[in-house]
A and B are shown apart, each in its own frame.
Chain A
Amino acid sequence: MMCRQVRQELIACWGSTDELEAAAVEHLRVCEACRIEAALLRETRVLLHSLPAEHAPSGLTKRVVARIADEQQPAGWWSRLAAWFVPEGSPAWARATAVGVAIALAAVGGTVLYHGTTSPGPDQAIIATTVAGGAQLAIGQQEIEDLMVRHQTLELTQPLADDPGVHLVMYTSY
């Protein structure tokens, strides 16, 4: 058996001759260099396993659990809102900016929606109901004149959902 083969076997069994093939054992008997290799491997293993056990520093469990509890504190509205726009752990300035932009967008969007799709107010509802589907037959001239005055007043203060001209035509043609 060659030294190279024997040394490979020695590494696999940490230099122990107990697990070696008979040919390798025979080689060791006559080869001093390989015997030294075997001894070195055995010693390496002993040294490795003689290293003292290492223990985690005291209080590590407490610190881990405390950090988990800290992370699981219910977040305030500010943090929850910021979490929609920026990843967790982002710097405070990024979270503040995100919340500011969100509030500004909400304000602009709300204003646009209010003016764009405002449903009829109580006065407008009266007119719309009155002119719808033949109900106008039940009201007299005086009432129509009152409605027209109210309509014009409304038109000045806020635009109606439907075309006010249409209503005026209907009122006057009655």
Chain B
Amino acid sequence: MAKGTALQQAEIERLVERAKRGDQHAFGRLVEEYKDKIYSYVSRMLGDPYEAEDVTQEAFLRAYRSLPRFRGAASFHTWLYRIASNLAIDVVRRRRRSDNVSYSLDEPLETDDGEYDREIADDTRGPEEASGTRETQVAVRRAIMDLPGKLRDVMVLYELQGETYEDIAQILAVPLGTVKSRLFNARNQLKERLKSLVAAGEIEVEQ
């Protein structure tokens, strides 16, 4: 069985062949099969559910358009991940560029619908967010997002998505040794980040 999917591998291959011939229903079944995997991966990479939804949709559309060129050298799910990974990296790069653009907080925000005052998110926690579990999850998510992109990619794929070293190497087009060393560094950096949260009393560690 294909990892993490309900459909048998042979059935997936049949659906891929049908989708290649333009069968939209077959492709719809493939989307249904992989949407959660791709969405959760992209969401964990970007930390933004709205962007994650857009990127997931775009990944499936690109996959459909590129299907005639899919020769099956990699598994379909690996190929799909690779498309999603490239799109997610593009979003991260765009963010980095836009982060470099400075603006005055007093300037109104120009949109197609007119001008609006800029609103700044309130990071102080409300009483409803003070519960330990939620707070801890937010802290862990933030710690993952703080990892450098290349380390975050491997961490998410291996630890959260359950992909193998070999599949990750194919998805990211890097050697197996690189996957292992990135994972090692990712674990170490994540541990260091959580250590600072422990020191700040935000997370408790049982010895």
Contacts and interface: CB of A to CB of B under 8 A. Distances in A.
A11 B191 contact: yes
B128 interface: no
B24 interface: yes
Contact of B190 (A37, A44, A54): A44
Interface residues of A, number: 34
B195 A64 contact: no
A40 B198 CA distance: 9
B23 to A, nearest CB: 11
Given A53-B40, A54-B40, A61-B28, A36 B207 contact: yes
B32 interface: yes
Do most interface residues of chain A lie in helix, strand or loop, or is the interface mixed? helix
Contacts of A36: 207
Contacts of A45: 159
A87 interface: no
A141 interface: no
Interface in B107-159: 136-137, 140-141, 144, 159
A69 B24 contact: yes
Interface in A48-90: 48-57, 60-61, 63-65, 67-69, 71-72
Given A12-B184, A54-B40, A40 B136 contact: no
Interface of B: 22, 24-25, 27-28, 31-32, 35-36, 38-40, 43-44, 49, 53, 56-57, 60-61, 64, 136-137, 140-141, 144, 159-160, 184, 187-188, 190-191, 194-195, 198, 203, 205-207
Interface of A: 8, 11-12, 14, 35-37, 39-41, 43-45, 47-57, 60-61, 63-65, 67-69, 71-72
